Structure 1
Amino acid sequence: MEPLVSTAWLADQLDARDLRIADASYHVPLPGAAPRDAAAEFAAGHLPGAIFMDLDGFADRDSPLPSTLPGPAQFASRMSRLGLGDGTRIVLYDDAAHHTAARAWVMLRAFGFTDVAILDGGLAKWKAEERPLETGAGEAKPRHATPRTQGSGILDKAAMRTILADGSAQIVDARSAARFTGEEADPRPGIAPGHIPGSRNLPYTRLFHPDGTWKCGDELAAAFAQAGVDPSRPLAMTCGSGITASVLAFGAHLLGREASVYDGSWTEWGADPSTPKAVGAA
């Protein structure tokens, strides 16, 4: 299975016994943002046979940071309940501004689930093509899920300090230019403005066409190049809370490169008085 699948491909695969479809929509609860209920939206209309993944339920219950990855027991329990277990191919999609299917993709790969794809264009493209939808909460048959790795491709603050000191990877920030430069205050209280010194800014929105489909090939490579990022070198992706950094990681994967994600991202780094910070352009 390719990492990025089309709506036409998925429509032909709907009856495959080993295929599971998961709605990974998550609406980041930033101050001032209009609230959206991802579970209610799923119930109002979702892809046939899909289950609602509820990324909020996967976040580490013991972490003070938003959206950080769960431990292996919590991950396995939730995956099993959703029927996203061993021996399955999983296609993820979303209907979220931050393209949160990429976050689910990073999480699953962190625990060794590699037969995972993202639906190009997500729910919006499926609807635009007038393909069938189902309503209701969705049903899942529990299936055993075995984490094969733990934290693969995930970085913590200590690892980021090391990268900053030795330059062993390029740090790439997925936030908007205004938040990266510090021109715009961080939406979360108590978080300093700016970015990790030496990082490059590649806003995640630059990886998509206006209709929400992914750029690929030369067009995708150009987005990285225009931000001064060399995908052939090691990559450490960051953002506000690890969600849109995952978009950059998936983009790198489409270019045949692997990238790591700083899970705590700027919410952790910007709140720590001891971490170095920079403002202005890269």
Structure 2
Amino acid sequence: MSKRAIKLLSPLSYRGLLSARSDARVIPIDGSWYMPNNPKDAVRDFKTERLPNSKYFNLDAVKDNKSSYPHMLPSLKQFNEAASVLGLRKDDKLIIYDRVGNFSAPRVAWTFQTFGHDNVYLLNNYPLYQTYSYPTETRPLENISPTTYESEEFDSNAVLSFEEIIQIVSNPDTRSNYNILDARSYDRFTGESPEPRPGLPSGHALGAKSLPFSKVLDSNNVFLPPQQIKEIVKSLELDIEKPTIVMCGTGVTACILKTALDSIDFNKKGIQVYDGSWTEYSQRADPELIVKGTA
């Protein structure tokens, strides 16, 4: 289980980081991504307005293209190539953000950490940054000079495979040794509402508890204060002495839960993201391992 924590950065702290003396470059990364049923265009939005000197990280492009499931982590080679095309260096301080506030950016931050990039921060958040009238950039994008980004690290403890989660949930004794959290909406968790991807059944994995990602964010998609997140964890009777697995629809919003738990140091035994999440699980798990309702 990985104990690496995603670090939150307020807009004010981000401005301070820009003015601090450091040998490392500070590079904002726009990781905006929208659900398939959302008509917004993240690439077009990035070209229209962004944090100054931003790069765009495309979750729909930097993934395992051989997998039939969306957003599965890319290979180390593919990740290095994508980071090189963006002109990144291993010692850059990366500030990850998205236009919603905190939606896809935590997944991008987690991806960089999983591939061994140490200086990764999550802006909490871009809409709040805009309310302060801090600088944004609207000029046409400039050509990027590629670099040679060479990470040799992949943190396999940060991610969980289908085979691994099936081993856990199919055995009652093993299952009881984990906190398993599902970030999808409660109605999708119980099976009352359909999945946004046609043809997928709703419901949840055996042993999972529902914690919709919206519960750890305020109305402006800013992460709740630590004390409020602690109260949520307490209400779910989660055990800090157990490792935690987070999942969602495709492994994106699960990283919101991971970030929230990181913010209260609830990673003593580590937190893993089930990459395939419900999209993979619902299609591959045996029916007896898929639950409808609250039980």
Instruction: Determine if the TM-score, normalized by the shorter chain, exceeds 0.5.
Output: yes
The answer to whether the aligner puts 1:12 opposite 2:16 as a matched pair is yes
Give the superposed CA RMSD: 2.0
The answer to whether the aligner puts 1:64 opposite 2:68 as a matched pair is yes
Give the counterpart of 1:189 among 192, 195, 198: 198
Give the letter aligned to residue 269 of structure 1: Y
Structure 2: distance between partners of 1:85 and 1:224? 37
TM-superposed deviation, 1:106:
1.3
TM-superposed deviation, 1:34:
3.2
The answer to whether the aligner puts 1:118 opposite 2:122 as a matched pair is yes
The answer to whether the aligner puts 1:40 opposite 2:47 as a matched pair is no
CA distance change for structure 1 residues 139 and 214 in 2, over 3 Å: closer, same or farther?
A: farther
Deviations 1:229-279 (A, max 9, x none): 234420011111000111111112112213100000010111125251011
TM-superposed deviation, 1:3:
0.8
Question: Does structure 1 retain, via aligned residues, the 8 Å contact 2:179–2:243?
Answer: yes
The answer to whether the aligner puts 1:243 opposite 2:252 as a matched pair is yes
Deviations 1:11-43 (A, max 9, x none): 2333665211100001121xxx23111011011
Give the letter aligned to residue 127 of structure 2: A
TM-superposed deviation, 1:117:
0.7
Question: Does structure 2 retain, via aligned residues, the 8 Å contact 1:174–1:201?
Answer: yes
Question: Does structure 1 retain, via aligned residues, the 8 Å contact 2:101–2:127?
Answer: no
Q: What is the match of residue 22 of structure 1?
A: 29
CA distance change for structure 1 residues 144 and 19 in 2, over 3 Å: closer, same or farther?
A: same
CA distance change for structure 1 residues 233 and 2 in 2, over 3 Å: closer, same or farther?
A: closer
Aligned residues between the structures: 278
CA distance change for structure 1 residues 6 and 86 in 2, over 3 Å: closer, same or farther?
A: same
Structure 1: distance between partners of 2:146 and 2:214? 35
**Which runs of 5 or more residues in structure 1 are unaligned?**
none
The answer to whether the aligner puts 1:270 opposite 2:282 as a matched pair is yes
Structure 2: distance between partners of 1:274 and 1:53? 35
TM-superposed deviation, 1:139:
5.0
- Residue identity over aligned pairs, in percent, reads 27
Structure 2: distance between partners of 1:143 and 1:86? 10
Question: Does structure 2 retain, via aligned residues, the 8 Å contact 1:52–1:138?
Answer: no
Question: Does structure 2 retain, via aligned residues, the 8 Å contact 1:93–1:118?
Answer: yes
The answer to whether the aligner puts 1:198 opposite 2:211 as a matched pair is no
Question: Does structure 1 retain, via aligned residues, the 8 Å contact 2:166–2:285?
Answer: no
Question: Does structure 1 retain, via aligned residues, the 8 Å contact 2:32–2:105?
Answer: yes
Structure 1: distance between partners of 2:102 and 2:55? 20
Secondary structure in 2 matching 1:26: coil
Q: What is the match of residue 106 of structure 2?
A: 102
TM-superposed deviation, 1:98:
6.3
Structure 1: distance between partners of 2:245 and 2:185? 17
TM-score by length of 1: 0.92
Structure 1: distance between partners of 2:281 and 2:102? 20
Question: Does structure 2 retain, via aligned residues, the 8 Å contact 1:242–1:264?
Answer: yes
**Which runs of 5 or more residues in structure 2 are unaligned?**
none
User: Which has the larger displacement, 95-104 or 164-173?
Assistant: 95-104
TM-superposed deviation, 1:144:
2.6
Secondary structure in 2 matching 1:171: strand
5 Å matches for 1:52-91?
Answer: 52-91=56-95
Give the letter aligned to residue 183 of structure 2: A
Give the letter aligned to residue 268 of structure 1: E
TM-score by length of 2: 0.88
CA distance change for structure 1 residues 125 and 274 in 2, over 3 Å: closer, same or farther?
A: same
Structure 1: distance between partners of 2:145 and 2:121? 20
